[in-house]
Structure 1
Amino acid sequence: MVRRDGEGVARLWGKGSVVTTKLTADETGGALGVTHFDAVRGERAPRHTHTREDEIFIIEGGEVHLTVGDATETVRGAGVLFLPRGIPHSYLVESETARFYVITTPGGFERFFSETGYPVRPGRTAPVGEAWSVNRTTEFAERLGLGVVWGK
């Protein structure tokens, strides 16, 4: 299966980023899920821990500040980062824009982005404030049974 730029299930996310699900667990026999971020400055994931899947970030460009456990690093340009399950982590986009893939294995976590985000429509931006909150994303993660522990 091939998914090119502009293909996949795109959703408006957080601060106004576009997150596109490229491959789902259903399409890979459960092996993995692939999501692409066209992220904007300030896009972030608060500190959280995955209990079921490992994550791989493949950063294509931009500046992304990452915290994994007690270590922090800023990737400028391109880079790859492995986030094993059970290790708390977070990220913050510090450049005007950043492009990166998030691969989760096993698959299934990609549903979080496709179901929590808002449909992409010309001229529409992601809601801010109460409409987009940590509480909202926490509720979706719990409803989907994703095994995410927030803030630890």
Structure 2
Amino acid sequence: MVTVKLTAEQTRGAMGMTHFAAKLGERSPSHIHTLEDEIFMIGSGGVRATVGDRTELLEGGSVLFLPRGIPHSYLVESETADLYVLTCPGGFERFFLDGGYPVHMGAAAPVGDRWSVERTQEVAEKLGLGIIWGS
């Protein structure tokens, strides 16, 4: 589950922040951001992150800078993980706001629709977020 904590509108475009309550096996495919830098902040759990040719296990309290233009991906390796992602400048949080499924009382994903790597790519491309996949 992803919760948007700050939007570009709230920060005059400076940043966006999301919180991931992630489970074992959740991941992002390798990709490059062309519009923003990211900072991963791990609250708890273990997340294996690859940035360029470097891979490391991030655990509670770890912080990692992911500069735009460098391929990166991540994989949750613990049963659960709390991951905060700060994007600078803001705007990438639209990916979750526009492409996600609401999780309030009674809300459900459309029948037959599941989140997948392919859906991730389709949503990002539709929103024009400047992502290059499979890098």
Q: TM-score, normalised by structure 2?
A: 0.92
CA distance in 1, matches of 2:34, 2:40: 17
Give the secondary structure class of the aligned counterpart of 2:14: coil
Paired residues of 1:32 and 1:108 also in contact (CA < 8 A): yes
- 5+ residue gaps, structure 2: none
Query: Does residue 98 of structure 1 match 2:81?
Result: yes
- Residues 15, 88 of structure 2: 8 Å contact kept: yes
Residues 1-150 of structure 1 mapped to structure 2, 5 A cutoff: 18-121=1-104, 131-150=114-133
Q: CA–CA distance in 2 between the matches of 1:65 and 1:40?
A: 13
Q: CA 1:44–1:124 in 2, change beyond 3 Å: closer, same or farther?
A: farther
Aligned with 1:143: secondary structure? helix
2:22–2:80 Cα contact (<8 Å) kept: yes
Residue type of the partner of 2:85?
V
Which range is displaced more, 111-120 or 48-57? Answer: 111-120
Deviations 1:59-81 (A, max 9, x none): 11100000000110001222000
Letter paired with 1:21: V
Judging changes above 3 Å, is the alpha-carbon distance between structure 1 residues 73 and 23 closer, same or farther for their aligned structure 2 residues? same
Provide closer, same or farther for how the CA distance between residues 81 and 99 of structure 1 changes in structure 2, counting only shifts above 3 A: same
CA distance in 2, matches of 1:130, 1:72: 32
> 1:62·1:78 contact (CA, 8 Å) conserved in 2?
no
Aligned Cα RMSD in Å? 1.8
TM-score normalized by the length of structure 1: 0.82
Equivalent position amino acid for 2:128 in 1: G
SS in 2 for 1:38: strand
* Equivalent pairs, count: 134
CA distance in 2, matches of 1:60, 1:37: 10
